Amino acid sequence: MLRKLYATVSGSCCADNPDSPQHQEVLLPGSLYGMIIKERMEEILNNIRSNIATDVRNGLAVDFNDSEQYGYIFFVHILITTFRAIFHESLIESQFRHWFKAGKLPRYWQFGLSNWS
């Protein structure tokens, strides 16, 4: 890459045309679903993590040796977070449905790609 950069600067290699099919590929719908689902899932997991992290920071002290107390807190956490995740998952489904119906993605989904519709 560095060599190509320097070659471009010196003029021994001409600039590629990003509009030519030689430098393009097609985004298949399956990959698109994959990207979206991955991003949503990542967001859910991050939410779960940040919730736990906040609790830990707020001094929700966990004594790892006291298995009963830790187990209890952890159990409640798992419950809450799973419910949230399920809720979010149904959200993903409804968003997908909306996408197919209306032909438009929610604004905050438009990651890095232009020309959506």
Residue numbers at the binding site for other proteins (CB under 8 A)? 1-10, 13-16, 18, 22-32, 34-35, 38, 46, 100-101, 103, 111-113, 115, 117
Of 68 and 101, CB closest to other proteins = 101
Nearer CB in complex with other proteins: 15/68: 15
Q: What are phi and psi of 16, to 5 degrees?
A: -75, 150
Helix or strand (DSSP H, E) at 54: helix 29-57
Residue 68 or 108 having the CB closest to other proteins: 108
C-beta of 38: minimal distance to other proteins in Å?
6
Q: Distance (Å, rounded) from C-alpha 34 to C-alpha 31?
A: 5
Nearer to other proteins, 59 or 103 (CB): 103
- The contacts of residue 35 (CB under 8 Å, 6+ apart) are 111
Q: How far is the CB of 102 from other proteins (least distance, A)?
A: 9
- Cβ-based neighbours of 73, under 8 Å, separated by 6 or more: 60, 62
